[in-house]
Structure formats: C-alpha cells, structure tokens
Structure 1
Amino acid sequence: MLTLWLGWQGSALLNKGDFTVDEIEHRGAPDTLTIRARSADFRGTLNSRREESWHDTTLGELVSAIAKRNKLTASVADSLKKIPVPHIDQSQESDAVFLTRLAERNGAAVSVKAGKLLFLKAGSAVTASGKPVPQMTLTRSDGDRHQFAIADRGLIPA
C-alpha cells in the first residue's frame, strides 16, 4: 500500500489517497525507481466475471449494490442517482467492465479512490462531495523533467 501526498514548495501537501502497488521497476544508470500503483485493488472481486440481470432500478441503486458487494462505499453524483434503469444485463462481465459501460452510456466517469466507488458526471470539475476542483496551470519551468503516456484501455481495466 502506498499513500500519496502532493504539493508545491511553500504550500500545504494534499493527501491524494491510498494506492495498491502492482509493479516496481528499477533502471540504471542513472538509478530510477518506478512504482506503479492503482487506486483499486484489481486482484480482488472487482475483476471477477459475473452474471446478473438488473430490473426496475436506478443508476444510484445499481452502483451502490455493486459497491457494497466489493466492500466499497458508493459516491454517485446527484445528477446521476435517479436515472432509471428499466433493465440491463451483466453477462460474463466483471463489475469493473460493467460499471465502465454504464458510465459511457450515461455521460459519467467511474473510478475507485480511497475505498470509494465514484460515479461522477464526466467533465464536471467537481469532487465526489460536490466541491469544485481548483484549476491549476503548469508551465515547463515548474519542473525539469516530464513524461507522458497514454494507454488504450478504459478507466477501469478489464
């Protein structure tokens, strides 16, 4: 388990949560240690394939039920909670893949952070509790080294 705190010199550190380490890599020279971690432990039940049929429910109730069976606390945006789900099948899909599909259909983003299953309106720039996310502009002079990578996979891996 890795706890991440981030901040800038001269400002307070912000706790960004706990992460499950799933890969450690060393390179040299110069010595570089890369630690890869995820906000959810995908070695657990979230990645187990399931068969389930959902009837006459809401998006909020559905996400809450999935959170509960994965020992997570659901946090669903108010604008998404009451969206009706007359019928949907989860057929040989993990909860992670099923939630990603639900999010895509409903203009949402799904993630697991600090023991919470977050189901938020995509691009809303608010936290799970509804607080606005402050904007920050980074310039090249803010650091002397950077790296960017993009992976061809959903928010929650299959």
Structure 2
Amino acid sequence: MLIGAHLGARVLATTRDLGKADELRALGAADVFSSDGFSKKVVDRTDGDGAHVVIDHVGAATFDESLRSATVGGRVVTCGATTGVSVPLNLPRVFVRQLEILGSTTGTLAEFEDLVAATEAGLRPAIAREFGLDEIREALAYMESSSNIGKVILRQ
C-alpha cells in the first residue's frame, strides 16, 4: 500500500477489522473495505471498471474476490498464501476478462535500487511492533491475532 501510494496510485485496501480503517488511510489508502465480498465495493468505487492491479497476499480466502475486483485486462498479483496454497480457479473469469495473473516474491536489482531511492526520499515501512528474539512466542501470538498493521520485527 505504501509503495502504491508513493507512486501515485489510488490505493483501495481491505481488512478483516474495519477498526483499522483510519490507520490504513493514514498509510495511503484512499478507501478501505471489509475483506468479505470486497469485489463489489471495488467495482462500485471504480465506476464499474474494477482495479487495474490487484495485489493478493492472502491466498485461498480472497483470491476469487481478487479476480472479480480486476478490470478487463487487469493484473492480479499473488505474493502470499497465508490462508492456503490451493485455490479453485474459475477459468472463464480469467480468459473472458483477459486477466493477467502474476506471481511475485521480491523484485529485480533495479526495482530494489528504486526502493532504496524511495526510502532515501522519505518512504518508510510501516512497523507495527518490535520484539526481542527471546519474545518470539509473543511475536507469533501477536501476528496470529491479526492486530498488526505493518511489519513485526524481531531484534536480537
């Protein structure tokens, strides 16, 4: 979200907890929706078009909604699978709407250099909380609670 907003994109975000909406807006989201049935809201907020790029880091629980959210000729980028690695795929949804499905982990050296330059220009990651290495159980429990917005860091 931060990178998209930094690049000038209009970012629409989803969350299981709408109590996080103000924080997500502060990080650059133009609009925030509940992750339940979000595709209809995305299409509505884009005047019926859908999103040009959808980034799905959740996996099985949201992937079909992500496909439904994309505009004709849009891209759906998958970069995580926290809710499962296998998803049923509605092939007509992909080919009729001419969607591109892309997988991503990190990026190229040039993209990394662009990210470093953006941090030098002031872009900062969202850090939810830091834990000592001896607090790893607490850190995992915190992550499992879905309380965080941003990264959870372990320090030695």
Decide which structure has the larger Cα Rg and report it: 1
Query: What TM-score, normalized to structure 1?
Result: 0.28
Identify the structure with the greater strand proportion: 1
Identify the structure with the greater helix proportion. Answer: 2
| Higher relative contact order structure (alpha carbons within 8 Å, sequence separation ≥ 6) | 1
